[in-house]
Amino acid sequence: MIIELNEENFDKEIETGLRLIEFYATWCSYCMKQRIELQELENSEIRIGIVDGDESPNIVNRYQIDGYPTFILFKNGEKIVQFSGFHKKSELLNRIMKYV
């Protein structure tokens, strides 16, 4: 399940478990392609959140997001790794599996 996150629900959503969060922008063509790859992960046990950078600038500033798409993997509320750019489903899984 992909959950739309914003400044009201972001902190609560990342506080427990392993969470992959994608920061995106509606005008970003790579982000739209990335969404297809993320949807293929929906059936996995990985919880995925997406943050519209234009709608949640405080979160973008907090994590110093400077391009889209950017991913942050959180474990129990702590940032584990951050990476940017388009990634195929297999690449995302490889990055995530290091921390499971």
Catalytic site positions: 28, 31
Strands 70-75 and 2-5: unpaired
Amino acid of residue 49: G
Residue with tokens 């405080």: 58
Residues 6 or more apart whose Cβ sits within 8 Å of residue 16: 76, 77
Query: 11 phi and psi, to 5 degrees?
Result: -60, -40
Angle between helices 29-41 and 89-97 (to 10 degrees): 60
